[in-house]
């Protein structure tokens, strides 16, 4: 690539970055005017934007622009044997080193070979601590965690050999715009599952971000670089004591923090990261997947840190009304500034994400749609009954709210949860069962709008219809501290609704 071409690519890149993510594709199509090669180069830079950098580093094209302008540099190692891995091509370059596609000459398989920068491996103490962390990470065995084959050394070069993943990073996927809710939750559940397995063994990732999340074509998600961020942390501890260096880094316009948008408040303050830091970063990633932009940002590193430490993200439901309140609640808990106020472990967050995902899938299932169509059909035939249903449900919800908030003892914060059990149909005409279901559904809808109240979905409570099971056992199984049960009796134009809060 000659200097003139590089300038053209660079100018288009900066123009595209200034636009919203969902506007970039249209801008490039118009700006490149059919030059597919030019368009690919710029899109490659956009996908690399904020890629695999540590706390203080610029994007790869700023770290080493010669990689884009000097073809000899990118192919320098191609064909070389490092250990028993033969280099085939350059995959990526960033603050944590260069990543190559290589072939394992012993086993005849493709691997991703990461060569670590000399600045990270020069100090023996740092290196030994990193090796210990990396070995712990390499012992992780989980379908959503990248498999580490070897941590080795060839001469003065240190490398990490891992499985090679066919697919694209979450960052590359987000370059084309925000994700739909189903896809975002699917990715979130798999990443949370990987973190749960890692945290169980004492391994903290420290650098969860879209660049470290790979999406395979078969739907599997792989979390990359467990233990790698520890190397950056150790380097920062020893080499960033110079205030002038920090000041220069913090005020540099256009500098992308890499982890900056995703680092937790404690990491932004220079404190030690723990498992709850990963939880925060996952919350930021989920927010960005759904809205298309991260919740915290700034023109410089210090601006971004200030945003993380002092501002609250705009509620997703304010921008996207279709976002479930339960997801809003999950993100609010994950993004508490004080780590003690977040989920105590990733397992609790994973459970909430799975429950939400299952509820949304159940609502969209053929059985649920058939049930909805049946109810709509009956509603059309019984419009007067619908008004009675709505009135009865409003009264029942009002009675519950009065009892819950004014009569019952004030619950502790973690006790604000309830399940509405299937109501008993006491009408003589058993075909009025749909009417009873309508009352339960309407109560659930109204209760779900009460802030800080966890409401169990109807699909989770239906198995308790006509059961003789002990109510305390039901509450334990559903994980709630309150149950609402009742009955509905309809006779002509009169409706009697009995509601009991337990």
Q: What is the pLDDT of residues 213-239, one digit of tens each?
A: 999 998 999 998 886 655 555 444 454
Strands (DSSP E) contained in 116-239 are 148-154, 157-163, 168-169, 213-215, 221-223
Rounded distance between C-alpha atoms, residue 114 and residue 98, angstroms? 6
Rounded distance between C-alpha atoms, residue 293 and residue 277, angstroms? 20
Closest C-alpha to 356, from 325, 317, 318: 325
423: tokens are 């109501």
Helix (H) or strand (E) holding 284: helix 275-291
Least confident of 51-55, 270-274, 338-342: 51-55
- How does residue 121 score in pLDDT terms, banded at 50, 70 and 90? low
For the chain, give the percent of residues with pLDDT over 70: 68
Q: 367-501 — its CATH code?
A: 3.40.50
Q: How many other C-beta atoms are found inside a 10 Å radius of the C-beta of residue 164? A: 17
Domain locations along the chain: 1-48, 74-361, 367-501
Closest C-alpha to 278, from 234, 223, 215, 355: 223
Rounded distance between C-alpha atoms, residue 129 and residue 230, angstroms? 9
Q: Which one is predicted more confidently, 423 or 247?
A: 423
Closest C-alpha to 349, from 188, 183, 178, 226: 188
Least confident of 57-61, 117-121, 317-321, 447-451: 57-61
pLDDT of residue 333: 96
Helix (H) or strand (E) holding 99: strand 97-104
Among 11, 104, 183, 207, the one annotated catalytic: 207
Kindly tell me the sign of the dihedral angle through the C-alpha atoms of 184, 189, 195, 199.
positive
| Mean pLDDT in residue range 391-408 | 54
Q: Which fold has domain 74-361?
A: Transferase(Phosphotransferase); domain 1 (1.10.510)
- How does residue 157 score in pLDDT terms, banded at 50, 70 and 90? confident
pLDDT of residue 102: 95
> Nearest-5° angle of CA 342, CA 346, CA 352?
85
| Mean pLDDT in residue range 122-149 | 76
| Mean pLDDT in residue range 371-400 | 52
Rounded distance between C-alpha atoms, residue 130 and residue 132, angstroms? 5
pLDDT of residue 436: 74
| Mean pLDDT in residue range 358-378 | 62
Tell me the whole-structure pTM to 2 decimals: 0.59
- How does residue 254 score in pLDDT terms, banded at 50, 70 and 90? very low
- How does residue 262 score in pLDDT terms, banded at 50, 70 and 90? very high
Contacts of 372 (CB under 8 A, 6+ apart): none
pLDDT of residue 111: 95
Is the confidence at residue 396, as pLDDT, over 60?
no
476: tokens are 């334990």
3-state secondary structure of 354: helix
- How does residue 392 score in pLDDT terms, banded at 50, 70 and 90? low
Report the residue count for the chain.
Answer: 502
Residue with tokens 């279709």: 322
The answer to whether 257 and 55 have CB atoms below 8 angstroms apart is yes
The answer to whether 369 and 215 have CB atoms below 8 angstroms apart is no
The answer to whether 296 and 307 have CB atoms below 8 angstroms apart is yes
Q: Is 207 a catalytic residue?
A: yes
The answer to whether 226 and 198 have CB atoms below 8 angstroms apart is yes
Q: Longest C-alpha distance within the chain, in Å?
A: 89
| Mean pLDDT in residue range 475-497 | 78
pLDDT of residue 8: 76
pLDDT of residue 101: 93
Rounded distance between C-alpha atoms, residue 452 and residue 398, angstroms? 17
Rounded distance between C-alpha atoms, residue 101 and residue 92, angstroms? 9
Q: What is the pLDDT of residues 279-335, one digit of tens each?
A: 999 999 999 999 999 999 887 777 888 899 999 998 888 888 889 989 999 999 999
Helix (H) or strand (E) holding 198: helix 181-200
**Main-chain phi, psi angles of 461, to 5 degrees:** -100, -10
Rounded distance between C-alpha atoms, residue 235 and residue 96, angstroms? 11
3-state secondary structure of 101: strand
156: tokens are 């003065």
- How does residue 399 score in pLDDT terms, banded at 50, 70 and 90? low
Rounded distance between C-alpha atoms, residue 169 and residue 99, angstroms? 14
pLDDT of residue 67: 41
Rounded distance between C-alpha atoms, residue 415 and residue 402, angstroms? 17
> How far is residue 487 CA from its own chain's centroid?
41
- How does residue 86 score in pLDDT terms, banded at 50, 70 and 90? very high
Q: Which one is predicted more confidently, 390 or 69?
A: 390
93-102, 134-143, 211-220, 492-501 — most confident range: 211-220
């Amino acid at each position: 690539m000659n200097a003139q071409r590089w300038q053209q690519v660079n100018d288009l890149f900066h123009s595209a970055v200034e636009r919203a993510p969902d506007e970039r594709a249209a801008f490039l199509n118009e700006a490149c005017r059919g030059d597919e090669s030019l368009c690919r180069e710029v899109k490659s830079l956009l996908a690399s934007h904020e890629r695999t950098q540590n706390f203080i580093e610029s994007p790869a094209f700023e770290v080493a622009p010669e990689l884009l302008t000097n073809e000899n540099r990118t192919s320098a190692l191609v064909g070389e044997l490092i250990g028993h891995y033969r280099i085939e091509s350059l995959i990526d370059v960033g603050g944590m080193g260069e990543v190559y596609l290589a072939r394992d000459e012993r086993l005849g398989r493709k691997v991703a070979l990461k060569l670590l920068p000399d600045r990270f491996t020069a100090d023996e103490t740092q290196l030994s601590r990193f090796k210990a962390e990396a070995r712990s990470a390499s012992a992780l065995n989980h379908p959503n965690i990248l498999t580490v084959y070897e941590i080795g050394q060839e001469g003065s070069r240190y490398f990490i050999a891992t499985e090679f993943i066919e697919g694209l990073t979450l960052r590359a996927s987000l370059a084309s715009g925000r994700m739909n809710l189903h896809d975002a939750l699917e990715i979130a559940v798999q990443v949370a599952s990987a973190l749960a397995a890692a945290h169980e063994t004492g391994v903290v990732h420290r650098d969860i971000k879209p660049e470290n999340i790979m999406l395979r074509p078969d739907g599997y998600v792989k979390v990359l670089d467990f233990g790698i961020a520890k190397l950056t942390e150790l380097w920062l501890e020893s080499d960033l004591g110079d205030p002038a260096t920090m000041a220069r880094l913090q005020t540099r316009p256009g500098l992308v923090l890499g982890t900056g948008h995703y680092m937790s408040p404690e990491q932004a303050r220079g404190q030690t990261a723990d498992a709850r830091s990963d939880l925060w970063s996952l919350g930021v990633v989920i927010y960005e997947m759904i809205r298309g932009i991260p919740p915290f940002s700034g023109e410089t590193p210090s601006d971004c840190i200030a945003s993380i430490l002092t501002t609250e993200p705009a509620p997703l439901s304010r921008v996207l009304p279709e976002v479930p309140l339960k997801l809003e609640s999950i993100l609010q808990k994950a993004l508490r500034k004080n780590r003690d106020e977040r989920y105590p472990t990733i397992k609790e967050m994973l459970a909430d994400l799975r429950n939400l995902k299952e509820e949304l899938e159940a609502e969209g299932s053929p059985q649920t749609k058939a049930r909805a169509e049946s109810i709509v059909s009956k509603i059309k035939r019984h419009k007067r009954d619908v008004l009675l249903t709505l009135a009865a449900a409003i009264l029942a919800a009002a009675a519950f709210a009065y009892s819950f908030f004014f009569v019952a003892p004030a619950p502790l914060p973690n006790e604000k949860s309830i399940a509405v059990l299937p109501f008993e149909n006491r009408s003589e005409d058993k075909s009025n069962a749909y009417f009873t279901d309508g009352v339960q559904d309407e109560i659930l809808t109204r209760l779900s709008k009460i802030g800080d109240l966890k409401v169990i979905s109807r699909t989770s409570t239906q198995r308790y219809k006509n059961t003789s099971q002990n109510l305390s056992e039901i509450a334990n199984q559903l994980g709630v501290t309150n149950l609402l049960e009742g009955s509905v009796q309809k006779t002509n134009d009169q409706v009697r609704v009995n509601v009991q809060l337990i």
